[in-house]
Amino acid sequence: MSIKTSTDRPVILINGMASNFEAQWRRGGWVARLEAAGRTVIGVDLPGHGASKDAVGRDAADLVLEEAAKHGSVDAIGFSAGAWALLLAASEQPTLFVRIAVLGAADMVLTGGLHHEDMQKPLIDGLLSAEEPAGNPMVTMIRRMIADAGNDREAVAGHTGRRRRRRYGRTVRTGFREGSECDALHRRWCGPL
């Protein structure tokens, strides 16, 4: 078995919430720097974001795993929600990943604390609102990031409100109450349980 050198091995970049590959990695200069170093760069957008806008019902870790499997072994960098997807993917299929970098993965992302209805509902409501919400600077910032990246707010809200897989490959509910607004949003984008 031959070991690929880092220049032979592609690097996958996974964006954070509200952004996409083009806005976060290409405009941010990461793609140019990695390519200048001889690396092949592959972008994986989170479901509901960029090129994965219509993949809202998919799990982000699955998108990362599918892309990594095409190449046999990769290096990967994930930011924020993309870091969480990368950690899940690498924990499920460690042989696909030679090196990973997990950037901006706050404790709440790692513990799943953000994936409860009481945390998600204000954000989802703010993303779906026709008017920019007053009094919630986080929603205002995320709406601006979505617009700057050219993403669709409803698609990002659909991904934000969907079920998440936790460590070790188990698919679980996020704590959304049956029949709640967040559950209804999930069902609209992803179908019934």
Instruction: Read off the tokens for 54.
Output: 């219509």
Domain ranges of the chain: 11-109, 113-190
Single-letter amino acid code for the residue at 93: Q
CA distances from 44 to 134, 147, 185 (A): 33, 19, 24
What per-residue confidence (pLDDT) applies to 164?
57
The continuous run of DSSP H or E covering 98 comes out as strand 97-103
Over pLDDT 90: what percentage of the chain? 50
Average pLDDT of span 48-57: 86
- Report domain 11-109's class: alpha beta
Most confident of 79-83, 95-99, 153-157: 95-99
Does residue 133 register a pLDDT over 70?
Answer: yes
Mean pLDDT lowest for which of 82-91, 114-123, 171-180?
171-180
Which pTM value belongs to this model?
0.75
Element (H, E) at 103: strand 97-103
Confidence class for position 117, pLDDT limits 50, 70, 90: low
Residue 149 or 175, more confident = 149
Q: Bigger pLDDT: 103 or 4?
A: 103
| Integer Cα distance of 125 and 109 in angstroms | 20
Q: What is the per-residue pLDDT for 186?
A: 43
Does the pLDDT value for residue 69 go beyond 90? yes
75 - beta bridge partners?
A: 11, 99
* Structure-token pair, residue 187: 């069902």
Cα–Cα distance for residue pair 76/11, rounded to 1 Å:
5
Which tens digit of pLDDT belongs to each residue from 86-103? 999 999 999 999 999 999
Residue 137 or 8, more confident? 137
Dist CA 70 CA 14 (whole Å): 16
Q: Bigger pLDDT: 174 or 32?
A: 32
φ, ψ of residue 148 to 5 degrees: the values are -60, -35
